[in-house]
Amino acid sequence: MSRVPKVALTLLLAAGVAIGVLAIAPPTSLLDLWLTYATGGRVRLAQTEGTLWRGAARIVLVDPARALGSAQASDPSPAPLQGLALPGVMRWTLSPRLLIGLLDARVTLAEGGVPVHVVGSVATGVRVDAGRFEWIGLALSGLGSPWNTVRPVGSLRVQWEPMVIDSAGIRGTLTLELADVTSAMSPVRPLGTWRLAVRAAGESAALRMETLSGPVHLEGDGQWNARGGLSLRLAAWPDAPMQTALTPLLNLIGPREGGRTIIRLGA
């Protein structure tokens, strides 16, 4: 047998083994591993089922302090996920063309949501279509400090324009809205609705928080980058007529500077 057929046969057998492994491999060992690496352990998958090509899982937003501790731990065994499990199930389908470096996937993040199309290649990068998802009545205390202090409940709306992910990083705009938030520590309901705008431009992203409605005002800005992670500084203050009712709650969140409460998230 000539050298060329031997090489071709070897590649064919290797491809066959790869296809067989990927066809039966549980997504927790593949997608969760990638997601853990990409987010520093802050976003994980739980209750996974199916395969890499067609599967489903719950999305868990892990307490950043627990994520950091897990990443620094010497024990490689996985710890139980503790954080905020988003309602509903994420479902995906992935084309086998991934084996030749071409990505073609459809992902649904919530029940009844419109699938988001993700397409691209290893060489040119990935394009994520515009999308929008909403989760109603989330208990946000699982996100860690300061959320576990005030035990807020609200709706989370996530919306983004088409985004590009390639060797230069991520480019695009994403907004998150926390709507009609209430707290077990305050009789004032709702406390407010706030929007966080994220503008990604390569290896970093600029963040800006603004108040849309409600008696508690939140304003501030920050940034995210691959090396330093998240750094966000917010100032919170109440409407003047609600100051007496809201001051005890704001005192729980962070230190005071003048008439405002300062909240720091991340580094």
Q: How far is CA 51 from the centre of its chain?
A: 22
Mean pLDDT across the stretch 157-173? 92
Q: What is the pLDDT of residue 75?
A: 41
Closest CA to 147 of 234, 52, 33, 76: 234
Mean pLDDT across the stretch 67-79? 43
- Mean pLDDT comparison of 144-158, 197-211, 219-233, highest-scoring range: 197-211
Model-level pTM?
A: 0.80
Q: 34-43, 123-132, 158-167, 228-237: which has the minimum mean pLDDT?
A: 34-43
Q: Is the dihedral of CA 176, 63, 207, 180 positive or negative?
A: positive
Q: Where are the domains of the chain?
A: 26-124, 130-267
Q: What is the mean pLDDT of the chain?
A: 82
pLDDT tens profile 113-135: 789 999 999 788 999 999 998 88
Distance in angstroms (rounded) separating the CA atoms of residues 238 and 214: 9
Given a cut of 70, whether residue 17 has pLDDT beyond it is no
- Residue 57, judged by CB atoms within 10 A of its CB (0-12, 13-18, 19+), counts as buried
pLDDT tens profile 84-93: 888 889 999 9
Given a cut of 70, whether residue 143 has pLDDT beyond it is yes
Mean pLDDT across the stretch 53-79? 62
Contact between 266 and 222 under an 8 Å Cβ cutoff? The reply is yes
* Side chain identity at residue 10, one-letter code: T
